[in-house]
Amino acid sequence: MYRVRCAILNSVNATLRLETKVKMADFNQPTVIVTGASSGVGLYAAKALAKKGWHVVMACRNLEKSERAAKEVGMSPDHYTVMHLDLASLSSVRNFVQTFRDSGRPLTSLVCNAAVYLPLLKDPEYSEDGYEISVATNHLGHFLLCHLLLEDLRNSPAGDKRLIILGTVTANRKELGGKIPIPAPPDLGDMVGFEQGFKAPIAMIDGKQFKSGKAYKDSKLCNMLCTRELHRRYHESTGITFNSLYPGCVADTPLFRNHFAAFRTIFPWFQKNITGGYVSQDLAGERVAMVVADPEFKQSGYHWSWGNRQQQGREAFVQELSAEGSDDAKAKRLWELSERLVGIASMVST
Interacting positions 158-177 with ligand NDP (CB under 6 A): 166, 168
39 binds ligand NDP (CB under 6 A): yes
The smaller minimum CB distance to ligand PMR, of residues 34 and 149, is found at: 34
Contact 89, 127 (CB under 8 A): yes
Residue 308 binding result from ligand NDP, ligand PMR, none, given CB thresholds of 5 to 8 Å by partner type: ligand PMR
Q: Are the C-beta atoms of residues 207 and 306 closer than 8 Å to each other?
A: no
Contacting ligand NDP (CB under 6 A), which of 31, 33, 42, 243? Answer: 42
State the pairing for strand pair 317-318/302-305. antiparallel
Contact characters 46-85, ligand NDP, x per CB under 6 A: --------------xxx--x-------------------x
Q: What residue is closest to ligand PMR based on CB?
A: 177
Contact status, residue 252 vs residue 282, Cβ threshold 8 Å: no
Pinpoint the alpha helices (H) of 137-198.
Answer: 142-155, 176-179, 192-195
What DSSP state is assigned to residue 244? E
CA angle 122-336-246, nearest 5°? 60
Distances (CA, A) of 167 to 171, 222, 246: 8, 9, 5
Query: Among all residues, whose Cβ is closest to ligand NDP?
Result: 40
Say whether residue 131 binds ligand NDP (CB under 6 A): no
| Out of 180, 266, 318, 323, the residue judged to bind ligand PMR by CB under 6 A | 180
Calpha distance 50→52 (Å, rounded): 5
According to DSSP, the residues that pair with 244 across neighbouring strands are 165, 303
Please say which residue, 173 or 217, places its beta carbon nearer to ligand PMR.
217
CA dihedral angle for residue 133, residue 138, residue 142, residue 144, rounded to 10 degrees:
-30
Binding to ligand PMR by residue 214, rule CB under 6 A? no
Give the amino acid at 216: Y
Q: Is 168 in the site for ligand PMR (CB under 6 A)?
A: yes
243 binds ligand PMR (CB under 6 A): no
- Which value, to the nearest 10 degrees, does the dihedral of the CA atoms of residues 122, 244, 235, 225 take? -30
- Tell which residue, 220, 223, 204, has the closest CA to residue 212: 204
Q: Which stretch binds ligand PMR (CB under 6 A): 32-40, 154-162, 213-221, 340-348?
A: 213-221
Residues 6 or more apart from 12 whose CB is under 8 A from it?
A: none
Per partner kind, with CB cut-offs from 5 to 8 A, the member of ligand PMR, ligand NDP, none near residue 119 is: ligand PMR
Task: With beta carbons less than 8 A apart as the criterion, state whether 279 and 249 touch.
Answer: yes
Is 182 one of the binding residues for ligand PMR (CB under 6 A)? yes
Smaller CB separation from ligand NDP, 116 or 289: 116
Assess 116 for contact with ligand NDP (CB under 6 A): yes
Bridge partners for 126 per DSSP: 132
- With CB under 6 A as the contact rule, the residue among 30, 31, 32, 40 that binds ligand NDP is 40
Binding site for ligand PMR (CB under 6 A): 117, 119, 168-170, 176-177, 180, 182, 213, 216-217, 249, 275, 277, 308
Binding site for ligand NDP (CB under 6 A): 35-36, 38-42, 60-62, 65, 85-88, 113-116, 137, 166, 168, 220, 246, 249-251, 253-255
